């Protein structure tokens, strides 16, 4: 009996043999469709190849595509567990032709694979075609030899496949398997078609049209093929089972569930095991593709599925978390075909365990409340809306979980009443928010958040994505379109653009629609709405359009390098300076980073060297940067660094990087840096490239600031420093390595020369070694009064002392011609200070020089003048002062 894994490879091998490229499954979160919540068929990743917008280097492809139908238009959640063929997660096998083969070859491939490779009995197969598609009907006759009554013409949309309100579409042919008369049901198109006898196993779509929003249907330039076969269905058929949940793969998950809950897989709890098996697959694959449980958008769909599974585990009597224990079985079964599952295994287990342990605390109480409520309402009545809302709001019961619980009791929920209660709560939240004094400008974003929902951020995993333009805002008001030159703020439903927060600057890039192009110069966030600020630079853009969003990659890469290295720097500082080091602020811009931290004194050169070297060592270690979601308490228990004063929600992202190697600093395998962080990061620390610490300085009291560079900017900085050093070496006529010695030698030389010059100046000032200055005698006092050029005011006191010694008894007045404002000093020998004060003399001279004031002691005083041209008058004034 072939396993599901065998069947998957038989399918793709068959098409590979027939010149098809085996293409990997695309992620469950579609990158190229703004309207789709989850990838729900094989053609999603090829949508643009059918319309010709995108070309690939192959014209034939085959895939096994993971699909989720649990939110939005295609939603199978409610039926899962109760039926044989509903899943939230399934695999779609497909073959695709892009303008290559068409109907005839597609039908030939399908027939050959089903009847030869899969060995199905030809007589049990029948097909449907679109009622006008004679061509397809004729090929079925010619290739498969099917008689007319086994080619059923269907006039309804069942045989005209559309991916949605817009996009590629076309007539299709569906292949059915007849399980035999013993099972009730009629062929497609008959009144009994819903029975289980005739089961559709494969849909072949002849893509030949494109559906537009205005309702028009136009032919596509090329004719293509898109097929889809559910692996679980064909698997059941080939394994001789009627129920998808009896296939080997699903059965192993059901048995794992039975083992973990100690409940008989085929007993009365059978249905619960089926729910658990299905939900284990969708939740694990969604987490592996980057979806995290939350209260919005995709995250909320994930949470709903998780909690639904948990309730069913609870119904089986499980007291402890169960789901995470089943992950290894799933990875064993599907990890080879989908390696991302193995890579994310620990994250999946941790996310499931966390969600389970948190929900457990309210699940029991919520179920009790539900029972109490039911007792109070009349037999068969619906649960009132406010009660359902209380379960949602206080006990974390998604509405469909309550509905699921009531379904078993044959009861429903007053959904209208639930919505009303929900609306009232929103209104209250809004009133509270407006009252909080936020800028009124933000009002529009709060309104938009209410009307259209908050923006989903895809930028942790991708830098390009498609979104739908939900609103265009200019000057605080909504506009319907924006033409070239308009400054506009764009809101989309989902975006890869990071909005400025936590020190990381907002992304820039481009938003392109069918009619225009916006250059985005910044991205901000208000009330959960991402606001893309930009200018229309081509054509015009309209509200409601689909848009391709592209983040400027190189800039984002530099920002990420700077952000990630900030985490390494933070840890290196803590280790070098002490546990008191805490982040006080940061900036992660593309060209540089700034990091403020608490520390009371400047770092020494040695500390700076140690920190820079340690950061670079972890950059070179090049280990993967890991992100997990957990409660703030769990994160703190792990030792994660949280931002001072920051408020955290129920869940936090914990970013870890670097491995301690046991070289004295920690035990093997322990994480170096662990921080709560909502920013985007490099994939591996090696992506940072290099780290250069530029400066360390005081920022405010008790806070130091580091400025630093990474990657190319760091290398450019080092290169520029090196070039400067070479220039210096050339100017000094030496090599870079000898610059320091050369500079020291020059400094010594300069000092010696300066001393010599000072000595010479003094000698010169005193009239040379032989002569000596001219000495006058006025009123019985010996006086030297002179103008000295080439000396400064500072030099004067020493010269005065020297001349006082020379004169023995008397007064000295020296005027320094500094080239700028003159300085003057006077000295009187001790024996004469009773007769005349140096202060008097200096004041007289300074005044004559156009200066003011002057002061000192009777034996030595100094002052400044204004004009050296008045020097003679100053000397005359000194004479006059002595004569008086
Ligand atoms: N797109 C078609 C489907 O989903 C065939 O793959 O059925």
DSSP states of 85-113 as a string? S--SEEEEEEEEESSS--HHHHHHHHHHI
Q: State mean pLDDT over 303-321.
A: 91
CB contact at 8 A, 409 and 415 = no
Burial 209-230 (b: 16+ CB within 10 A, else e): bbbeeeeeeeebebbbbbbbbb
The SS3 assignment for 471 reads: strand
Which protein residue's CA is at the shortest distance from atom 4 of ligand 1?
41
| CB neighbour list of residue 548: distance below 8 Å, 6 or more residues apart | 464, 465, 466, 511, 512, 513
pLDDT at 830 over 70: yes
Grade residue 644 by pLDDT with cuts at 50, 70 and 90.
Answer: very low
- Bridge partners, residue 696, by sequence: 706
- pLDDT tens, position by position, 485-496: 999 999 999 999
Share of residues in the chain with pLDDT > 70 (%): 95
The SS3 assignment for 374 reads: helix
Return the ligand 1 atom nearest residue 161 CA.
2
Grade residue 105 by pLDDT with cuts at 50, 70 and 90.
Answer: very high
Determine whether the shortest distance from the Cβ of 71 to ligand 1 is under 6 A.
no
Among 34-38, 582-586, 608-612, 746-750, the minimum mean pLDDT is found in 34-38
Q: State mean pLDDT over 387-413.
A: 88
Both tokens assigned to 845: 């001279």
User: Do the bridges between strand 151-154 and strand 125-130 make them parallel or antiparallel, or are there none, so unpaired?
Assistant: parallel
Return the ligand 1 atom nearest residue 163 CA.
1
CB contact at 8 A, 838 and 857 = yes
Determine whether the shortest distance from the Cβ of 50 to ligand 1 is under 6 A.
no
The residue among 104, 113, 111 whose CA lies nearest residue 125 is 111
Determine whether the shortest distance from the Cβ of 67 to ligand 1 is under 6 A.
no
CB contact at 8 A, 197 and 237 = no
Using CA atoms, how far residue 41 sits from 27, 30, 35, 38, 162, in Å, is 11, 11, 14, 9, 11
Return the ligand 1 atom nearest residue 42 CA.
6
Q: If you ran DSSP here, which 8-state letter would residue 670 be given?
A: -
pLDDT at 439 over 50: no
pLDDT at position 758: 77
Using CA atoms, how far residue 350 sits from 24, 324, 347, 629, in Å, is 26, 7, 5, 8
Please state, in angstroms and rounded to a whole number, the distance separating the CA atoms of residues 201 and 191: 20
Q: State mean pLDDT over 169-188.
A: 93
Q: If you ran DSSP here, which 8-state letter would residue 148 be given?
A: G
Please state, in angstroms and rounded to a whole number, the distance separating the CA atoms of residues 611 and 692: 10
- Bridge partners, residue 585, by sequence: 596
The residue among 430, 420, 426 whose CA lies nearest residue 388 is 420
Q: How far is the CA of 585 from the centre of ligand 1 (A)?
A: 51
> What is the enclosing helix (H) or strand (E) of 749?
helix 739-765
Q: State mean pLDDT over 442-466.
A: 87
CB contact at 8 A, 704 and 602 = yes
Q: If you ran DSSP here, which 8-state letter would residue 155 be given?
A: -
- pLDDT tens, position by position, 509-519: 999 999 999 99
Determine whether the shortest distance from the Cβ of 161 to ligand 1 is under 6 A.
yes
Determine whether the shortest distance from the Cβ of 823 to ligand 1 is under 6 A.
no
Residue 639: left (phi > 0), alpha (psi -120 to 50), or beta? Answer: left
Q: How far is the CA of 288 from the centre of ligand 1 (A)?
A: 24
Among 70-79, 331-340, 481-490, 613-622, the minimum mean pLDDT is found in 70-79
Residue 544: left (phi > 0), alpha (psi -120 to 50), or beta? Answer: left
| CB neighbour list of residue 670: distance below 8 Å, 6 or more residues apart | 659, 660
Q: What share of the chain is helix, strand, coil (3-state, %, to 5)?
A: 45, 25, 30
Q: How far is the CA of 625 from the centre of ligand 1 (A)?
A: 37
Instruction: Order across the sheet with 860-864: list the strands.
Output: 776-778, 781-789, 811-817, 823-828, 860-864, 855-857
pLDDT at position 665: 44
Residue written as tokens 């007291």?
319
Both tokens assigned to 388: 């359902």
Among 33-37, 132-136, 653-657, 670-674, the minimum mean pLDDT is found in 33-37
CB contact at 8 A, 310 and 356 = yes
pLDDT at position 436: 41
- pLDDT tens, position by position, 409-435: 888 999 999 999 988 887 776 666 554
Please state, in angstroms and rounded to a whole number, the distance separating the CA atoms of residues 527 and 504: 18
Determine whether the shortest distance from the Cβ of 205 to ligand 1 is under 6 A.
yes
User: Do the bridges between strand 776-778 and strand 703-710 make them parallel or antiparallel, or are there none, so unpaired?
Assistant: unpaired
Ligand 1: residue of 227, 229, 230, 234 to mutate (most ligand atoms within 8 A of CB) is 227
First to last CA, the chain: 132
CB contact at 8 A, 702 and 587 = no
CB contact at 8 A, 833 and 841 = no
Task: Give strand ranges (E) for 679-835.
Answer: 691-700, 703-710, 776-778, 781-789, 811-817, 823-828
Please state, in angstroms and rounded to a whole number, the distance separating the CA atoms of residues 586 and 140: 68
Ligand 1: residue of 25, 41, 97, 160 to mutate (most ligand atoms within 8 A of CB) is 41
Which protein residue's CA is at the shortest distance from atom 6 of ligand 1?
228
- pLDDT tens, position by position, 542-553: 999 999 999 999
State the SS3 of 293-361: CCCCHHHHHHHHHHHHHHHHHHHCCCCCCCHHHHHHHHHHHHCCCCHHHHHCHHHHHHHHHHHHHHHHH
Q: State mean pLDDT over 121-137.
A: 96
- Crossing angle of helices 297-315 and 270-288, in 10° steps, is 150
Please state, in angstroms and rounded to a whole number, the distance separating the CA atoms of residues 787 and 773: 11
pLDDT at position 279: 96
pLDDT at position 145: 96
Which protein residue's CA is at the shortest distance from atom 2 of ligand 1?
228
Determine whether the shortest distance from the Cβ of 169 to ligand 1 is under 6 A.
no
pLDDT at position 336: 95
């Amino acid at each position: 009996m072939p396993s599901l894994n065998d069947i998957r490879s038989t399918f793709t091998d068959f098409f590979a043999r027939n010149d098809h490229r085996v293409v990997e499954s695309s992620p469950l979160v579609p990158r190229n469709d703004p309207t789709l919540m989850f990838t729900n068929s094989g053609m999603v990743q090829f949508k643009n190849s059918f319309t010709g917008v995108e070309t690939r280097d192959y014209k034939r492809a085959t895939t096994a595509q993971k699909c989720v139908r649990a939110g939005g238009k295609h939603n199978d959640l409610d039926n899962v567990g109760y039926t044989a063929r509903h899943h939230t997660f399934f695999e779609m096998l497909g073959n695709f032709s892009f303008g290559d083969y068409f109907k005839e070859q597609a039908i030939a491939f399908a027939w050959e694979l089903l009847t030869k490779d899969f060995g199905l009995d030809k007589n049990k197969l029948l097909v449907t075609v679109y009622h006008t598609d004679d061509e397809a009907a004729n090929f079925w006759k010619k290739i498969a030899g099917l008689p007319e009554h086994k080619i059923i013409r269907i006039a309804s949309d069942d045989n005209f496949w559309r991916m949605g309100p817009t996009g590629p579409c076309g007539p299709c042919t569906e292949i059915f398997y007849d399980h035999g008369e013993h099972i009730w049901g009629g062929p497609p198109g008959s009144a009994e078609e819903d029975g289980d006898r005739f089961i559709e196993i494969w849909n072949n779509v002849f893509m030949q049209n494109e559906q537009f929003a205005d309702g028009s249907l136009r032919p596509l330039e090329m004719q293509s093929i898109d097929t889809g076969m559910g692996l679980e269905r064909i698997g059941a058929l080939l394994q001789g089972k009627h129920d998808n949940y009896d296939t080997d793969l699903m059965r192993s998950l059901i048995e794992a569930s039975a083992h973990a809950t100690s409940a008989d897989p085929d007993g009365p709890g059978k249905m619960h095991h089926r729910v658990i098996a299905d939900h284990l697959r969708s939740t694990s694959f969604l987490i592996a593709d980057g979806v995290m449980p939350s209260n919005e958008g995709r995250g909320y769909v994930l949470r709903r599925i998780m909690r639904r599974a948990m309730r069913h585990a609870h119904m089986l009597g499980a007291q402890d978390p169960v789901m995470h224990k089943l992950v290894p079985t799933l990875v064993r079964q599907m990890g080879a075909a989908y390696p991302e599952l193995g890579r994310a295994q620990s994250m999946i287990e941790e996310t499931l365990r966390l969600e389970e342990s948190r929900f457990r605390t309210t699940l029991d109480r919520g179920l009790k409340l539900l029972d109490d409520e039911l007792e109070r309402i009349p037999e068969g009545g619906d649960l009132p809306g406010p009660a359902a809302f209380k379960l949602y709001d206080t006990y974390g019961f998604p509405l469909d979980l309550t509905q699921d619980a009531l379904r078993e009791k044959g009861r429903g929920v007053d959904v209208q009443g639930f919505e009303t209660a929900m609306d009232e709560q929103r209104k209250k939240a809004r009133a509270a928010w407006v009252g909080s004094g936020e800028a009124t400008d933000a009002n529009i974003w709060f309104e938009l958040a209410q009307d259209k929902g908050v923006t989903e951020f895809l930028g942790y995993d991708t830098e390009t994505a498609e979104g739908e333009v939900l609103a265009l805002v200019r000057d605080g008001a909504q506009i319907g379109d924006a033409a070239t030159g308009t400054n506009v703020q764009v809101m989309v439903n989902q975006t890869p653009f990071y909005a400025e927060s936590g020190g990381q600057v907002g992304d820039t890039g481009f938003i392109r629609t069918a009619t225009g192009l916006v250059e985005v110069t910044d991205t901000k966030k208000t009330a959960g709405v991402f606001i893309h600020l930009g200018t229309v630079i081509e054509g015009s853009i309209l509200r409601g359009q689909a848009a391709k969003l592209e983040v400027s990659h190189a800039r984002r890469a530099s920002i990420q390098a700077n952000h990630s290295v900030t985490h390494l720097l933070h840890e290196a500082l803590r280790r070098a300076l002490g546990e008191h080091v805490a982040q006080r602020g940061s900036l992660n811009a593309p060209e540089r980073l700034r990091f403020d931290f608490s520390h009371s004194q400047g770092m020494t050169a040695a500390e700076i060297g140690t920190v820079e070297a340690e950061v670079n060592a972890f950059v070179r270690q090049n280990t993967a940067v890991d992100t997990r979601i957990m409660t703030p308490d769990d994160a703190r228990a792990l030792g994660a660094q949280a931002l001072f004063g920051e408020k955290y929600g129920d869940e936090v992202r914990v970013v870890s990087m670097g491995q301690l190697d046991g070289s004295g600093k920690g035990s093997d395998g322990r994480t170096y840096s662990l921080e709560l962080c909502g920013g985007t990061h490099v994939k591996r620390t090696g992506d940072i490239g290099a780290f250069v610490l530029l400066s360390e300085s005081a920022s405010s009291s008790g806070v130091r600031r580091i400025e630093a560079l990474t990657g190319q900017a760091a290398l450019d900085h080092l290169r520029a420093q090196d070039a400067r050093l070479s220039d210096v070496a050339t100017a000094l006529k030496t090599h870079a390595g000898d610059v320091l010695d050369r500079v020291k030698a020059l400094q010594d030389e300069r000092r010696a020369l300066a001393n010599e010059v000072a000595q010479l100046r003094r000698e010169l000032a005193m009239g040379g070694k032989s002569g000596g200055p001219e000495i006058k005698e006025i009123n019985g006092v010996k006086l030297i009064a002179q103008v000295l050029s080439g000396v400064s005011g500072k030099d004067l006191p020493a010269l005065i002392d020297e001349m006082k010694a020379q004169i023995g008894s008397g007064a000295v007045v020296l005027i320094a011609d500094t080239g700028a404002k003159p300085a003057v000093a006077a000295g009187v020998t001790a024996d004469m200070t009773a007769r005349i004060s140096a202060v008097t003399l200096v004041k007289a001279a300074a005044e004559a020089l156009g200066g003011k004031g002057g002061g000192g002691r009777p034996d030595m005083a100094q002052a400044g003048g204004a004009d050296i041209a008045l020097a003679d008058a100053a000397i005359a004034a000194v004479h006059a002062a002595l004569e008086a």
